[in-house]
Amino acid sequence: MAWLVIVLSGLLETVWATALDRTEGFTRLLPSLVFAAALVGSMAGLSYALRSIPVGTGYAVWVGIGAVGTAVAGMVWLGEPASLPRILCLLLLVGGIVGLKVLH
């Protein structure tokens, strides 16, 4: 259960990071509300998961999922470049995340 929660929390990290970009310095209400809700949900899930996952592993997985998710969201929806080197680097991150789970 903790691993499912950490994955969902990592995905919520992607949501809050993307929403943060859209808040325009917290001057736009809806993106600011999405940011706050996703941030609270992400932190709550991380806190719950760390009850049974070691903090080093859990935090690294959470950040990795958020980083990869945010980079992919940027490429898919925000017009950021999707070059082969960027995609290969993201795949390296995914490999590290999977390795942390497998070696846990």
pLDDT by residue (tens digit) across 58-100? 999 999 999 999 999 999 999 999 999 999 999 999 999 999 8
Indicate the domain borders of the chain.
2-102
Alpha carbon distance 54, 71 (integer Å)? 26
Produce one character per residue of 2-31: b if its CB has 16 or more CB atoms within 10 Å, e if not: eeebbbebbbbbbbbbbbbeebeeeeeeeb
Mean pLDDT of all residues in 18-36: 96
pTM (global) more than 0.85: yes
Beta carbons of 6 and 53 less than 8 angstroms apart: yes
Structure confidence at residue 34 (pLDDT) = 98
Where does residue 51 rank: exposed (0-12), middle (13-18), buried (19+ CB within 10 A)? exposed
Report pLDDT digits (tens) over 41-57.
999 999 999 999 999 99
